[in-house]
Structure 1
Amino acid sequence: MTTSRMRAEIGEQPAALRRTLDALLPRVPDLAALARGTRQVLFIARGSSDNAAVYGRYLAETRTGRLGTLAAPSVATAYRTRLDLSGVLAVAISQSGKTEEIVQTLDWAADCGASTVAVTNGAGSPLAESAQVALVTEAGDELAVPATKTYTTQLAALAVLALGLGADVPRDDLRRVPDEIADLIARAEESAALPEIVEGLAGVQGVVVSGRGLAFGTALELALKIKEACYLHAMGLSYADLLHGPIAVVDDRTPALLVAAGDGPTLAGTIALADRVRGARARAFAVGGGTGLAAASDAALPGPDLPEWVAPLGLIVPGQLLVERLARRLGVDPDVPRGLNKVTQTD
C-alpha cells in the first residue's frame, strides 16, 4: 500500500523537532525579558493548536507558578469586549499564522495591555508580525490536512516558553525528545498492539479518549484526529470529568482509549480507570503509561521514555500512527479528510 503523506510527515517529526529546538532555545532570554512582571498566561488558539494550548496551560501552572487560561476569541471578535489585561502574557498559537480570528484576538489582547507571543510555523505570517516575540517553529511544509509535525513542534515551542517563564526543569529533557520519538515510531509500528487496537476500533462507531493533567491535551488531540481522519465519534475527556457521568457511555460497543505519561501524579488514576472500564466489560486500550497501564489494558502502545513535563511531545506520536492506520483500514484517505482545509477561517 502506498505510504500516505500523513505517515511520511509523522516520520519527519524527529528532524522537525531538532530544527525547532535549535531555533527556539536561544530565544529563552527574550521570553524571560518579555514575561518579566507578568503574572498570568492567556492562550489563544483553535483546533489542534487549542489542544497544544492545554499542554501549555498545564506547564504554566505546574512548572512556572503562573495562572494559565484559555481565551474565548469571540470575546474579542464578536462581543468586542475590552478587558484589563495588564500583567498578562498573551500567547497565540496557529500553525499557519493566517487565521484571522487568532490574529485579531492577539491584537485585541495587546490593545488591552497584554504582552504578546506568537507560536506559528508561518515565518512572516500576520500572526508572527503582530507579536512582540515570535516563536517560529521549523516543521517545514505540512501537506496532509491532519496536523502532525506542526502540532509536536508547537508543543516544543510551549516547552521553550515554560523555560522562559522560569520553569525549573532540565533542558536536557527537551534535547532528548527527537531521538526518543524516532525510537518510539519504530517501537510502535513493530508493536503487536497497533493492529490489535486498529481492529478493535474499526468495528465501533465511537470511542472515549481520556487522560489527565499534562496528558489531557494529548487525549483531546487524539480524539480530534480520530474524528477528523477516521470519521468516528470520539469524546476527549479528563478522566475526572469522565467519572462524573459520561463513564456510562463506555460499554461493549464503546471502548476507552487511555493516554498517560510513564510517571507523574495522574498515572495511578489512569490505571484505576482502565480497571474500571474492563470491569464494565468494555475494552480498554492504552497509549503510554508504562507497564502498569499496559497490564491494566487489553492492548497498549508504547509511550515515550521521557519525564512527564515533556512526555506529551512523544505521547501523541503512537496515537498519530494509530489514526493513520485506522483511517486506511476504514477506507478513508487520511491526507484529505472530507470537509477540511489546511487553514480554517472562523468569524
Structure 2
Amino acid sequence: MSSTTSRMRAEIGEQPEALRRTIGALLPRVAEIGALAGGTRQVLFIARGSSDNAAVYGRYLVESRAGRLGTLAAPSIATAYRRDLDLSGVLAVAISQSGKTEEIVETLDWAARCGARTVAVTNGAGSPLAEAAEVALVTDAGEELAVPATKTYTTQLAALAVLALGLGADADPADLLRVPDEVGRLIALTEASEQLPAIVEELAEVQGTVVSGRGIAFGTALELALKIKEACYLHAMGLSYADLLHGPIAVVDDRTPALLVAADSGPTLPGTIALARRVRGAGARAYGVGGGTGLAEACSRALPGPALPEWVAPLGLIVPGQLLVEALARRLGADPDVPRGLNKVTQTD
C-alpha cells in the first residue's frame, strides 16, 4: 500500500474542525428552525447520492426522536412527471453539497409552489439552493477537492441533527458538541489499529461485499457501500439487515464478506450482533464498524466506533469506513481523489 497521502485522506482529517465550525454556526438557529416548522407535521427530504444517504439518517432521526413522519422525495415527480401534490403541512428539506444540482433546486421550488415550507442544507453559501430556501443551513466544511464526499457528508449530518433539535427532538444538544473531539479521537484510533490494514488486505482479494446496518445506522451502511463502489470499483450492496435476511443473505459466502455498522448502543445493536454470528456461521467473514465490544467479538475483524449516543453516532460511525475506503482504493491502485467517470457536481434530470 502506498504511503502517499491523498486529498481524500487530508479532508477526512479536516472533519473535526469542519464539524466544530458547522455545529457552532448552526446550533444557535434551533429556534429559527422551530419557528419555520410551526404548523408542519411531516418532513420531506430531497437529495441524491451521498446527500440522499444523509437524508436517510435525517428521516430516522426525525421519526425516532422528533415524532414526525419523514419521507424521501422522488424528484422525478416534480422534474419529469411534473405532477403537483398537496404539500401543505410539509417541511421540505433539500440537501446538496454544492447547492448547484439543478434537479434538487427545481424540486425544492416545486415543493414551495405546492405549499411546503422549505429548508436547504448545503455547503454552498450563496448557491442557487441556498437562495431558493426560506431557511438555509449552510455547513462550514470548507472547499472539498476530492470527489468522494467526506467532510461535506458529515457536516450535512450535523446540520440534520440541528434540524431535528429544531423540530423538538428528544435529545441533548450537548451530545452534538462532543462530536468534533470524538471524530478526532476516532481517526487516530482507527489509523493506529492493526485491524485496518488487515481488513484492507482481505477486501483487496474479493470482488464485492454486503454492507448492512439498521435504523439510525442504516444511512451509514448505504454511504459506506456507495464509497466502496465509487472509489474502489467493487460491488457493494447496501442493505438494512432486515432486508438482507429476507433473501440477499444468500450472496454472503467465503468470497463475499459482510461489513456491519452499528452504534455502540440502541435497539438495533443486538440484531447486528446476531447477523455477524450468522455470517460467520455460514463460513463468511464479518467485519464490524462500531457496535462496541459485542459486535467486535462477534466479527472476524472490527474497526472502532464513536463513543457517542445513538442519535449522533452516525457523525462518527462513517469515519472508520472513510479511512478504510481510502486505504483500499490505494491498495487496489485507484486514485481515491478522482474516481473514474465522476465529477464533484452531478447533474440529473
Alignment match, 1:324 = 326
**Is it true that 1:31 corresponds to 2:33 in the alignment?**
yes
- For structure 2, the 5+ residue unaligned runs are none
Q: Distance in 1 between matches of 2:58 and 2:111?
A: 18
1:155 to 136, 157, 160: 157
Letter paired with 1:323: V
Q: Distance in 2 between matches of 1:195 and 1:294?
A: 16
- For structure 1, the 5+ residue unaligned runs are none
Alignment match, 1:122 = 124
Q: 3-state DSSP class of the match of 1:128?
A: helix
**Is it true that 1:240 corresponds to 2:261 in the alignment?**
no
1:230-273 CA-partner distances (Å, limit 9, x unpaired): 00000000000000000000000000000000000000000000
1:168-195 CA-partner distances (Å, limit 9, x unpaired): 2111100000000000000000111101
Q: 3-state DSSP class of the match of 2:310?
A: coil
Q: Distance in 2 between matches of 1:306 and 1:227?
A: 28
Q: 3-state DSSP class of the match of 1:55?
A: helix
The runs of 4+ residues in structure 1 deviating greater than 6 Å are none
Q: Distance in 1 between matches of 2:187 and 2:208?
A: 26
Alignment match, 1:88 = 90
1:344 to 338, 343, 346: 346
Alignment match, 1:42 = 44
**Is it true that 1:174 corresponds to 2:176 in the alignment?**
yes
**Is it true that 1:229 corresponds to 2:231 in the alignment?**
yes
- Report the alpha carbon displacement of residue 26 of structure 1 after superposing the two structures with TM: 1.1
1:250 to 249, 252, 261: 252
Alignment match, 2:7 = 5
Letter paired with 2:289: V
- Report the alpha carbon displacement of residue 27 of structure 1 after superposing the two structures with TM: 1.0
Q: Distance in 2 between matches of 1:52 and 1:60?
A: 12
Alignment match, 2:190 = 188
1:75 to 58, 77, 90: 77
Q: Distance in 2 between matches of 1:169 and 1:275?
A: 32
1:322-346 CA-partner distances (Å, limit 9, x unpaired): 0000000000000000000000000
1:214 to 216, 223, 237: 216
Q: Distance in 1 between matches of 2:137 and 2:72?
A: 19
- Report the alpha carbon displacement of residue 120 of structure 1 after superposing the two structures with TM: 0.0
TM-score after normalising by structure 2: 0.99
Q: Distance in 1 between matches of 2:280 and 2:335?
A: 32
Letter paired with 2:18: A
Alignment match, 2:106 = 104
Q: Distance in 1 between matches of 2:266 and 2:340?
A: 38
- Report the alpha carbon displacement of residue 199 of structure 1 after superposing the two structures with TM: 1.0
1:219-298 alignment runs, 5 A limit: 219-298=221-300
TM-score after normalising by structure 1: 1.00
Q: Distance in 1 between matches of 2:175 and 2:274?
A: 28
